Structure 1
Amino acid sequence: MRWWGIATTLVLLLAGCDGEPETAVTPSQAQSLPAPGTARLDAAKAQPLQAALAKIVAFPDSPAGSRGATAAVVTDRWTWSGAAGKDISGTALRPETSIAVASITKTFVAAEVMLLAQAKKVDLDAPISTYVKHKLTTNNATVRQHLSMTAGVPDFLPDDYFRLDGAVTAAPGRHWTAVQTLSYLTAPIEAPNSTFSYSNPSYLLLGELIENVTGQPFAAAFRRDLAAPAGLRHAAFQDGEKPQPPVAIDHNESCGGQPDGYLPCRAFASAVGATGSLAADAPTVAHWGYQLYGGRVLPMELVGEMTTGDGDYGLGTMLFTRLFGIGTAFGHRGDMPDSTSLLVVIPEKKLSIALLLADGDRHIETGMGELTKALEPLLS
């Protein structure tokens, strides 16, 4: 299994999984949201949501199933969180169980870069080489093109991932830098253009930009500028921070058999770095989505830029349009070998949903569809 995510899954998701043509999203479809609700959803009303989680774990070996699932919902009136099933060690999951959420990290990267742009410390339309000197920044691609994955920087090839796996396995406790990880990329860079191509290396470079401009590790910048203002209590940007217990145990083969407090281990977490190192629980992820895409962390004009694209990707944001049936949605998917995650925010419904699975390579969109179906009667 590819250790960073499943390319085929991402291609299918970004192409649109509902069989209907995707349309470009315009800034006007992003809207500011009121403060998130603090009341807990009545237990009787929450039964259909819990039943959706139970359905996921009832058939753990099916493509859309999982051994364990957690989920959370944030609206302007109430919140809900739930859990079902177990992690691979047999420990029952709780709503507050931390799980590696992989590429949802990219929403933080994009938000931080947008803040730096607002502060006139970064020019989105300047070449990223203005801020990061690297052989991958020599094609004059702009910061904005890296954010939108149109910079002409390819993703790692299967053989690149294989060699990275071997290096992580050799020293699971090692700290990796972005430059060390990028040294494994063998595919040639191309001229920047308007063609979207999913690129983890672009986000490693953006992590370097954040560190160079702020003078801080990206974990510290995220904590100061995003996590603290958004009130995120259980987000850990690895390996600058360790996940807070309880933590879903996984048995990643690259990491050996001894847990070291990171998900899945320090070498893996630091090697993915700014492109996918976040570990969090479902309530934290749902709260982050509400605060970010509701214009409560960034000004709405910046949120509008993040949620605008010519296809299915904006700036650090997947554009789901009406994939889940109840409104235009923004967010991100995350894939790790031992976990799958999905954040979906539907501003017109004042709604943010996080679904985290304790299994890798899952068809998580099916479970999210069940949750949105169960939620619809509760939103009137």
Structure 2
Amino acid sequence: MLEQIVEFPDSPSGSRGATAAVVTDQWTWSGAVGTDSRGTPLSADTSMAVSSITKTFIAAEVLLLASKGSPNLELPLSRYVPHRLTANFATVRQYLAMTAAVPDYQPDAFARLDRAAAAAPEKHWTLAQSLAFAEGPLGVPGQAYIYSNPGYVLLGMLIEKLTGLPLAAALRRDLADPAGLRHAAFQDGEKPQPPAAVDDDPACGAPDGYLPCRAVASLAAAPGGLAADAPTVARWGYQLYGGRVVPADLVSQMTDGDGEYGLGTMLFTRQFGLGEAYGHRGDMPDHTSLLVVVPAKHVSIALILADGGRSIDRRMADLTTALEPLLG
């Protein structure tokens, strides 16, 4: 199936390269085809930027902290993180659910982010500094789902405040290490481990060991800074949504809802043909990623394409169709 992805790399659902992994109760599988943007052949353990799959870690960490006493999910986030983007008194839970009415970065803001990164690709940006690019008026919380990267930056700031640790250190201590994720890197607090893809992001210049470079990685840290290989992403989904790394009652909160988003979790209903499914998509200029977990089948699937902006759902559907006879 993976070979079909690179057969027509310029098609909407094609790519120059792809990696994938499956984790079940009884067996695991991983594979790779094609190359990264510099022509280096991919292997199953090649790290790539998996962008917004990071949000599953942020939500799990906030819920884990809440289960230990703080934060209170029903209190305004402004109680913990005073900021102009928390001034509408949306609750912590609403930020997790993306119903806090905080607008996403606008196209001109992304252009300014690129210019700032290009001016100093090696620069480390703090979470608070990255919010300088967030624009638009706050709305009334609780009325509508609005996908918001700045909202997850604020949740990252919440984690740092409550743990007293840099975001990467908190996620490593509480989630990645307990889940056995040795090949995950929370950028830019951590650097991707080799083998790692090399990006051709025009904002970044020469490779510096981050994906795509330190400035972009740190600007995206909380909502999308994770770099990992497909087996690591699949293992994370299996551990998280199987209740193996955070308690099952917290997982049920992440996957609750009748819309398209729970708490840091995309709700795929029966979109991929195997049953109720959860996970997250990610998209960066050189990588498109998708994590799909079907608890009823005890299966977690990760797919990463070595191109950005691709129609990855179609390729995931091909993969789940091929897997169905093997899952019982």
TM range (shorter): over 0.9
- 1:147 and 2:96 equivalent? yes
Superposed, which structure 2 residues align to 1:171-320 within 5 Å?
A: 171-256=120-205, 258-320=206-268
Query: In 1, Cα distance between the equivalents of 2:29 and 2:138?
Result: 45
How far is 1:160 from its partner?
Answer: 1.1
Query: In 1, Cα distance between the equivalents of 2:251 and 2:113?
Result: 34
Of 268, 288, 295, which residue of structure 2 is paired with 1:340? 288
Of 86, 89, 113, which residue of structure 1 is paired with 2:62? 113
Of 32, 57, 80, which residue of structure 1 is paired with 2:6? 57
Partner of 1:94: 43
Mapped contact 2:103–2:135 kept (Cα < 8 A): no
Of 296, 307, 326, which residue of structure 1 is paired with 2:274? 326
Query: In 2, Cα distance between the equivalents of 1:170 and 1:88?
Result: 22
Query: In 2, Cα distance between the equivalents of 1:323 and 1:80?
Result: 22
How far is 1:90 from its partner?
Answer: 1.0
Partner of 1:138: 87
Partner of 2:107: 158
Q: State the Cα deviation string for residues 246-292 of structure 1 (Å, max 9, x = none).
A: 01111000101x11010000000000111000000000000000000
Partner of 1:49: none
Runs of 4+ in 1 over 2 A off after TM superposition: none
How far is 1:102 from its partner?
Answer: 0.1
Partner of 1:77: 26
The percentage of aligned residue pairs carrying the same residue is: 66
How far is 1:194 from its partner?
Answer: 3.0
How far is 1:310 from its partner?
Answer: 3.4
How far is 1:191 from its partner?
Answer: 1.7
- SS across alignment from 1:283: helix
Partner of 1:38: none
TM-score scaled by structure 2?
A: 0.99
How far is 1:178 from its partner?
Answer: 1.5
TM-score scaled by structure 1?
A: 0.86
Mapped contact 2:268–2:277 kept (Cα < 8 A): yes
Query: In 1, Cα distance between the equivalents of 2:181 and 2:255?
Result: 22
How far is 1:98 from its partner?
Answer: 0.1
Query: In 1, Cα distance between the equivalents of 2:99 and 2:79?
Result: 18
- SS across alignment from 1:65: coil
The amino acid of 2:58's aligned partner reads V
- SS across alignment from 1:236: strand
Query: In 2, Cα distance between the equivalents of 1:161 and 1:100?
Result: 17
Query: In 1, Cα distance between the equivalents of 2:106 and 2:320?
Result: 35
Query: In 2, Cα distance between the equivalents of 1:325 and 1:152?
Result: 32
How far is 1:341 from its partner?
Answer: 0.1
Partner of 2:303: 355
Query: In 2, Cα distance between the equivalents of 1:280 and 1:339?
Result: 11
- Alpha-carbon RMSD: 0.7
Query: In 1, Cα distance between the equivalents of 2:32 and 2:224?
Result: 23
The amino acid of 1:164's aligned partner reads L
Query: In 2, Cα distance between the equivalents of 1:83 and 1:103?
Result: 22
Partner of 2:324: 376
Query: In 2, Cα distance between the equivalents of 1:71 and 1:322?
Result: 21
Point out where structure 1 has 5 or more consecutive residues left out of the alignment: 1-51
- SS across alignment from 2:203: helix
Query: In 1, Cα distance between the equivalents of 2:234 and 2:307?
Result: 19
Query: In 1, Cα distance between the equivalents of 2:292 and 2:147?
Result: 19
How far is 1:307 from its partner?
Answer: 0.2
Point out where structure 2 has 5 or more consecutive residues left out of the alignment: none
The amino acid of 2:102's aligned partner reads V
